[in-house]
Structure 1
Amino acid sequence: MAEKQSIILFPFMAQGHIIPFLALALNLEQKSKNYNITIINTPHNIQKLKTSLPPNSSINLLTIPFISSDHNLPPNTENTDTVPYNLVIKLIQASLSLKPSFKYIIQNILTQQPNHKLCIISDIFFGWTSTVAKELGVFHVVFSGASGYGLACYYSLWMNLPHRFTDSDEFPLSDFPEARLIQRNQLPNNISQADGFDDWSIFQRKNNLCDWVNSDGIIFNSVSDFDSVGLNYFTRKFNIPVWSIGPVVLSTGSRGKVGGINPKVCKEWLDTKPSNSVLFVCFGSMNTISATQMMQLGTALEKSGKNFIWVVRPPIGFDINSEFKYEEWLPLGFMEKIVETKRGIIVNDWAPQVEILSHGSVSAFLSHCGWNSVLESLSHGVPILGWPMAAEQFFNCKLLEEEMGVCVEVARGKSCEVKYEDIVEKIELVMGESSESGVKIRENACKIKDMIRNAVKDGEEDGVKGSSVRGIDEFLSAAGKSNKTTLNDRE
């Protein structure tokens, strides 16, 4: 009988992190029944995860204690989805308090399952877990839901803060020259404002990124065929294995979301539209734009003449979970016109993204370039209109546009000036039937779709496994062969 292996997954408390971790857990569960899989998280996130697991799943959910009010956060604040941006750093800082409880949990698992191999898969924000694993002699990997390229830029910027040493509006990354020049307005606000002594810098440089070197490897929710430059950065940086295993994505049924629009209603509307005629607009689970930008985007959608589905949330400065005020935040008469023409659907808060992107009537995706959304789009050959807003999204957009040729950047950030005429022009460039650039972009997106399909081939037909299937096999083999992951080994 094969040796039982316990796998612990520990995502950061944000939907954009939890979703790929859940997808990975379900993927591992399908690989073998010999894995005892556990997801650890705080109480409210565990409750949400319970509604996302299939009824026949054997994945365990384990609560780690956390009281947000102990850290000057509002009560029951356990996910970035429920806090304003200025409090996100407080939640991240508070996550450091999980270390003693996490260590206690791992020690208990080692004691209760002394003959099991144990592997910890932790979030990119939980670098400190690698030191716990090292202390306890446990195999540890970091799992990134971001692209290798995007995270390489992000890591290099935080560790070196190159923008502090130049007045230029563009500059190279000394340890990642493959990225060529980074523009100052591509920097997320927290990096742009960082001086090395601010809260974000202290967390990233002293409590997180510096600890990755203690890990036994890094796994990426990406595909090596189009992300090798970024993946290779981490191989040479840490001299540890780097495995690409993507895309690992969730079906709508496993996301645990309610509200928004019924998937059936959405499909019925899409069924009435011609092939490649619909623009899908969505900025992820925790992003929104300014009221001025929203007005310009609404005008652009109206003027473009394209069919569209637009997922809206209240603009910056308003409670993102409050009711959307259509008459206040959208152009005058906008709702009446789209109802009359049946040319668009406005969805409050949530839409079945995978189902929409997989529908034949969808031509392009106006996105914040979060990597989950990028993979879902490109898996269906849908090109992207990029509007990055935070974190490594700016560098994902750079990869998509400059290296892969599947994206056109529409705007940059939540405070940039946006003109509806420019948005209309970019929409036409990507979606227009007579646009040579659009034809090329759509062709490139289809090529990436084929790369993704080949990466996840299981080898049953021709005996040749795809790169991502080989990646996850190699990772599991390394974890299984590790001689430091059972209690008996250490005794």
Structure 2
Amino acid sequence: MPNLGRKMEASKANISIVVVPLPTQGHLNQLLHLSILLSSHALTVYYAAPAIQIHQARSRLEGWPASSISSLHFHELPIPPYASPAPNPDSSLFFPSHLLPMFQAFKHVQPHLANLLRSLSANSRRVVVISDLLVSFAATEAAALPNGEPYTFRCTPPSSGLAWQRQDSPAGALIRSLGLNTPSPKDCMPEEFLAHVAQCQSRPESGLLINTCHLIEGDFLDFFMQQPDLIGKKLFALGPLNPTVITETTGPRHHCLDWLDRQPPGSVLYVSFGTNSSISDDQIEQLAIGLLNSEQRFVWVLREADRGDFIAEGENRLQNKLPAGFMEKIEDKGTIIGDWVPQLEILAHRATGAFMSHCGWNSCMESISMGVPTLAWPMHSDQPWNAVLLCDYLKVGVIVRDWNRRKEILPAAEIEKAIKEVMIYDKGQEIRRRASELGEAARRAAGDGGSSNTELLSFINHITRS
């Protein structure tokens, strides 16, 4: 056995892994989780991103011990100046178009990434590049190396890609057979971003890594791998990538966790629409009234969406849009948070009973792995499909705002009804039971001997092969 151990360690020697995320929170976070998992297996991992986004990823790390990133190599990619406008909560599309200048500027880091890869190539047996689906230039640079091996990481569920295919395709037939509704991508993203996707989407030359598992999307994965670009490629379903046993950070504990400690088990609704989504002033008012009238405890993250330069945040004006006397009326039943919160720790807390969410895939996987049911309020991109997947397919939530009514102001009475449906009514008991069971199964999949852990080890064995 000692000889076998030495052989395994030798196979990892001189393997350099470079992880290149799209520079926005949901993508930075998932790929940081993956980097930590890979480095925990004695692999050399470089996390390459602009300096601001490296700071963003590190400062928002949660669920892992602080030492988990000590072995990572954070490599700063110089990026040219770009506009960092405030988000527009009154946009007819809820997509964070204010981030487009950053996405365009990010293309200019390509030569700096190429320099890093070439320097590693000269002293490595193999350079494994794991890049976001929307960072095609990283895959291009990896493929140009004599010892480069590019892998694509998909931050959205494979089923969302199937949902956007033609109805007369095999994938479309599958979706119809399951009785699921599929929104058009043109309704979910602006044309400018769709054009950006068409230019930047990378091909999975050596294989595809996804933050999901067969437990969650088993019906879809075989169909997904039948797409022309994927036939014959390796697929590694590694999710959930977020830690499923939570270690609180060593820094100051967020005050909302102290508030949760004082609440009964399963009694609190957590409300957050992610780091890049915004709602209008009128919708803030209706949501506040709905929360108040539901008579349920809640933690509501009410903050401006991230800008491209997340450090240069503007003043959080949103709490000024709450109805007069709202803070006095909620007394000890609710708390409003105006800054970033440790979402994973909130979802793992015993007091949290449900999650009103925009259904970004990162939030979906976190809520699934913690066994927390979802009140779905999708905003853009893959989120409308993710809401359908969670609520109509997995049946671990309810849809609060139907996608066909996305341009309407959702009235307080409907919000109140959805909250009570999950938190109080009989239907909610079944949803909570299913969410709890799915969470247990997802944690087993990520644990030792589970399907996702096995696929992670399979990926490591593959990239360290002789």
Helix, strand or coil for the counterpart of 1:360?
Answer: coil
What does residue 143 of structure 2 align with? 134
Please point out which of 380, 400, 403 is paired with 1:390: 380
SS in 1 for 2:286: helix
- The match for 2:38 is 28
Write out per-residue CA displacement over residues 258-296 of structure 1, whole angstroms, 9 at most, x where no aligned residue: 9xxx74532332232222211110111121211111111
Q: Which residue of 2 aligns with 1:335?
A: 327
Aligned to 1:355: 345
**Are positions 1:470 and 2:454 aligned together?**
yes
State the number of aligned residues: 429
Against the structure 1 CA distance between its residues 51 and 426, is the aligned structure 2 distance closer, same or farther, given a 3 Å change threshold? closer
CA gap of 1:152–1:126, structure 2 versus 1, over 3 A, is: farther
Q: Structure 1 residue 59 and structure 2 residue 72: aligned?
A: yes
Answer yes or no: is 1:445 the counterpart of 2:426.
Answer: no
CA distance in 1, matches of 2:153, 2:319: 43
Q: 1:200 aligns with which of 188, 193, 197?
A: 193
Distance in 1, matches of 2:412 and 2:305, equals 17
Map residues 17-416 of structure 1 onto 2, 5 A cutoff: 17-30=27-40, 32-33=41-42, 35-49=43-57, 51=59, 54-55=66-67, 57-69=70-82, 73-74=83-84, 85-111=96-122, 113-114=123-124, 116-137=125-146, 138-153=148-163, 156=164, 175-180=171-176, 187=185, 189=187, 191=189, 194=191, 199-205=192-198, 207-209=199-201, 211-213=202-204, 215-237=205-227, 238-239=230-231, 240-249=233-242, 263=253, 265-314=255-304, 321-325=313-317, 328-339=320-331, 342-412=332-402, 415-416=407-408
Q: Distance in 1 between matches of 2:109 and 2:23?
A: 12
On the 8 A contact 2:270/2:352 being kept in 1, the answer is yes
Give 5+ residue unaligned stretches, structure 2.
1-5, 86-94
For the structure 1 residues 177 and 93, does the alpha-carbon distance in structure 2 shift closer, same or farther, using more than 3 Å as the test?
Answer: farther
Q: 1:101: Cα distance to partner?
A: 2.6
Tell me if structure 1 keeps the 8 A contact 2:48–2:76.
yes
Q: Hey, what's the Cα distance between the residues in 1 that align with 2:203 and 2:321?
A: 43
Unpaired runs of 5+ residues, structure 1, are 76-83, 163-170, 459-464, 484-491
Question: Which one of the candidate residues 15, 24, 47 is aligned to 1:14?
Answer: 24
Partners in 1 of 2:25 and 2:305 — Cα distance? 20
Find the residue that maps to 1:366 and give its secondary structure.
strand
- What is the TM-score with the length of structure 1 in the denominator? 0.80
Distance 1:89 1:323, change over 3 A: closer
Does the CA-based 8 Å contact 1:291-1:315 persist in structure 2? no
CA shift for structure 1 position 49: 4.5
Judge conservation of contact 1:142–1:212 (CA < 8 Å) in 2.
yes
Question: What's 2:91 paired with?
Answer: none
Q: Secondary structure at the match of 1:39?
A: strand
Contact 2:254 2:342 in 1 (8 A): no
Compared with structure 1, are the counterparts of its residues 179 and 278 closer, same or farther at alpha carbon in structure 2 (3 Å cutoff)?
same
Q: Is the 8 A contact 1:141 1:217 kept in 2?
A: yes
For residues 148-178 of structure 1, the C-alpha deviation after alignment (integer angstroms, 9 at most, x for no partner) is 223443xx46xxxx6xxxxxxxx67664432
The root-mean-square deviation of aligned C-alpha atoms, in Å, is: 2.9
Q: Distance in 1 between matches of 2:317 and 2:52?
A: 29
Following the alignment from structure 1 to structure 2, what is the Cα–Cα distance between the partners of residues 443 and 10?
38
Give, in angstroms, the shift of residue 66 of structure 1.
1.1
C-alpha spacing 1:74/1:136, structure 2 compared with 1 (3 Å): same
**1:388 match: secondary structure:** coil
In structure 1, how many angstroms separate the alpha carbons of the residues matched to 2:446 and 2:357? Answer: 24
Q: Secondary structure of the equivalent of 1:58?
A: coil
Deviation at 1:68, TM superposition (A): 2.4
Report SS of the residue matched to 2:206.
coil
Secondary structure in 1 aligned to 2:136? coil
Letter in 1 for 2:54: I
CA contact (8 A) 1:289 1:315 kept: no
3-state DSSP class of the match of 2:151?
strand
> Structure 2 CA distance, aligned partners of 1:367 and 1:74?
25
Give, in angstroms, the shift of residue 364 of structure 1: 0.6
Alpha-carbon separation, structure 1, partners of 2:381 and 2:213: 20
Q: 1:9, 1:38 within 8 Å by CA — same for their partners in 2?
A: yes
Q: Structure 1 residues 326 and 48, CA, compared in 2 at 3 Å: closer, same or farther?
A: closer
CA separation in 2, counterparts of 1:428 and 1:49? Answer: 35
Shift of 1:480: 2.0
**Counterparts of 1:278 and 1:365, CA distance in 2:** 9
C-alpha contact (below 8 Å) 2:23/2:49 kept by paired residues: yes
Residue deviations 1:340-374 (CA, integer Å, cap 9, x gap): xx110011022221222112221110011111112
Say if 1:381 and 1:445, in contact at 8 Å, map to a contact too.
Answer: yes
Tell me how far apart the structure 2 counterparts of residues 325 and 109 of structure 1 sit (CA, whole Å). 46
Amino acid at match of 1:97: H
- In the TM superposition, what is the alpha-carbon distance from 1:100 to its structure 2 partner? 2.8
Given that residues 302 and 319 in structure 2 are in contact (C-alpha distance below 8 angstroms), is that contact kept between their aligned partners in structure 1?
no
State the distance in 2 between where 1:346 and 1:178 align: 42
Provide the rounded CA distance (Å) in 2 between the counterparts of 1:18 and 1:252. 20
CA distance in 1, matches of 2:195, 2:319: 43
Contact 1:277–1:362 (CA under 8 A) maintained in structure 2? yes
Matched, 1:418 2:410: yes
Residue in 2 that maps onto 1:168: none
Q: Partner of 2:111: helix, strand, or coil?
A: helix
Q: Matched residue of 1:400: which SS?
A: helix
Conserved? CA contact 2:267–2:351, under 8 Å = yes
Tell me the secondary structure at the aligned position of residue 376 of structure 1: helix
Tell me if the contact between 2:254 and 2:341 (Cα under 8 Å) persists in the aligned partners: no
Question: Match of 1:92, as an amino acid?
Answer: F
Matching residue's letter, 1:38: Y
- Calculate the TM-score normalised by the size of structure 2: 0.84
**Deviations, residues 293-343 of structure 1 (Å, cap 9, x unaligned):** 1111000000000011100024999x994334466411221011123xx11
Counterpart secondary structure, 2:203: helix
